[in-house]
Structure 1
Amino acid sequence: MWEVLTIIGTIAFALSGAIVAMEEKYDLMGVYILGLVTAFGGGAVRNLLIGVPVSALWEQGALFIVAIVVMTIAFLCPTLLLQKWIKFGILFDAIGLSAFAIQGAIYATEMGHPLSAVIVAAALTGTGGGMIRDVLAGRKPLFLQQEIYIVWTMVAGALIGLHVVTTSVGYTILFITVIILRMLSVHYKWQLPKRELKSSYDTSL
């Protein structure tokens, strides 16, 4: 289950990063960098917070190869891929979000961390790569301004941290559920409450 979730998340987020890079008219190296950051950034942030050496990422050589192959295909066939991305992009993003959130929660739980750390690990593993991607692409991080999909990563983390979900079947059901909730969030435009505060500071002074 761990390996399957990792592969699914890596492919989905590498594609996401590559598409954003091409939308911003980055060159080939920019596509690779943004794709790799999206695919592995969340795991790096998680490792820092729960005490796993960041160097552990370099042990995932096979996943780096998978990500580079996927991004190369995306770069060579942008028109075909973009058409598919417009239709299935949110689904790919939801798959990556769900896969990495569950993976992060499992990782933190197996290390014996408390519930709060498991929830944070799930949230950051699921959204960290996308957050770094958006910042590097000059965009406002999506989860900070729209939708509520970070909530679903936290719910997944809580269920795993509380040992409500402990089996492969349970992880599979949770994986599918988070994807569905993410898609429903987009379809019905679910958002967390927000408030705009206008500054009274006079910039002319």
Structure 2
Amino acid sequence: MNTWEIFTIIGTLAFALSGALVAFEEKYDLFGVYTLGFITAFGGGMIRNLVVGIPVSAFWAQTPLFLLTFALITLLVLLPSCYFQLWNRWGIFFDAVGLSAFAIQGAIFAQSANESIFAMMIAAVLTGVGGGMLRDVLAGRKPLVLHTDIYAGWALFAGLLIGIGFSHPIAQYVLFVLVICLRMLTVRYCWHLPRVSKNIA
């Protein structure tokens, strides 16, 4: 199993957990839980594939990941409610893991296609934030990527480092942990980009 496949699995499962937890918070029904879990897990990859022109058939060739995601969400559904008194606080962490894993996976994907560093950065953002953005929209929440705290910026950062030479698996795993830490520090200390305030009549 290569690095790209490992990050794909990590990102898929982390975002599936994130999507399911948001569905629980919003008190969605069973269909809503599975829908939000799957869209969060696979949405970023779908958006990236559409942008770079990969055939839709490639998306449906992920049966093992579909089954793994289904099993994970089913396990969450079957767990007693008392577990989620502790688990709810992990929603942001799972989102950070998914963001980091998919940003790196997207950049590696573009790198393997011999694309430019700018393409790697764009692929990192699309793959890293796409699923979470779809999750937030379907849950009726303001997408994290549009908030004032730094979110997509860490995906760009991951794509940039992959583009300038972080090609060794060990370096990529270090980057994976680094992006998670940076995202969690962003939340903890409320780091944000400058706000744009205009008075429009």
TM-score of the superposed pair, with normalisation by structure 1: 0.92
Residues 16 and 41 in structure 2, CA contact (< 8 A), matched pair in contact too: yes
Larger deviation, residues 65-74 vs 34-43: 65-74
Which residue is equivalent to 1:170? 171
1:26 to 8, 25, 28: 28
Distance 1:20 1:129, change over 3 A: same
Counterpart Cα distance in 2 of 1:78 and 1:197: 48
2:148 touches 2:195 (CA, 8 Å); kept in 1? no
Deviates more, 1:55-64 or 1:33-42: 55-64
**How do 1:13-52 and structure 2 match up within 5 A?**
13-52=15-54
Residue 13 of structure 1 and its aligned partner are, at CA, apart by: 0.4
Maintained 8 Å contact 1:115/1:158: yes
RMSD: 1.4
SS for the counterpart of 1:138 is coil
Any gaps of 5 or more consecutive residues in structure 1? Answer: 201-205
Q: 1:81: Cα distance to partner? A: 4.1
The one-character-per-residue Cα deviations of 1:25-57 (angstroms, maximum 9, x if unpaired) are 211111111110000000000111122223211
Shift of 1:136: 1.0
**One-letter code aligned to 1:124:** L
Q: CA deviation at 1:15?
A: 0.9
Residue type of the alignment partner of 2:62: Q
Take 1:102 and 1:96, find their aligned partners in 2: how far apart are those partners? 10
| Partner residue of 1:12 out of 11, 14, 20 | 14
Shift of 1:87: 3.3
Residue identity opposite 2:104 in structure 1: I
Residue identity opposite 1:187 in structure 2: R
After TM superposition, which residue ranges in structure 1, 4 or more long, deviate above 3 angstroms? none
For residues 80 and 3 of structure 1, the distance between their equivalents in structure 2, rounded to whole angstroms, comes to 34
For residues 41 and 128 of structure 2, what CA distance do their matches in structure 1 show? Answer: 10
1:93-151 CA-to-partner distances (Å, cap 9, x unmatched) read 11111100000000011111112111010011111000011111111101201410211
| 3-state SS of paired residue (1:47) | helix
Corresponding pairs, count: 199
CA distance in 2, matches of 1:146, 1:195: 10
Could you tell me which residue of structure 1 aligns to residue 71 of structure 2? 69
Q: Is the 8 A contact 2:21 2:91 kept in 1?
A: no
Structure 2 unaligned residues grouped into runs of 5+:
none
8 A contact 1:120–1:154 mirrored in 2: yes
Residue matched to 1:203: none
User: Equivalent residue for 1:195?
Assistant: 196
1:31-86 alpha-carbon deviations (Å, 9 max, x no partner): 11111000000000011112222321111111111111111111222624422323
Q: Is 111-120 or 72-81 further displaced after alignment? A: 72-81
1:132 counterpart SS class = helix
What's 2:115 paired with? 113
Structure with larger Rg: 1
Q: Distance in 1 between matches of 2:149 and 2:49?
A: 26
Alpha-carbon distance in 2 for matches of 1:134, 1:53:
26
Which one-letter code corresponds to 2:45 in the other structure? G
Identity of aligned residues (%): 55
Rounded Cα–Cα distance in structure 2 between residues aligned with 1:110 and 1:92: 27
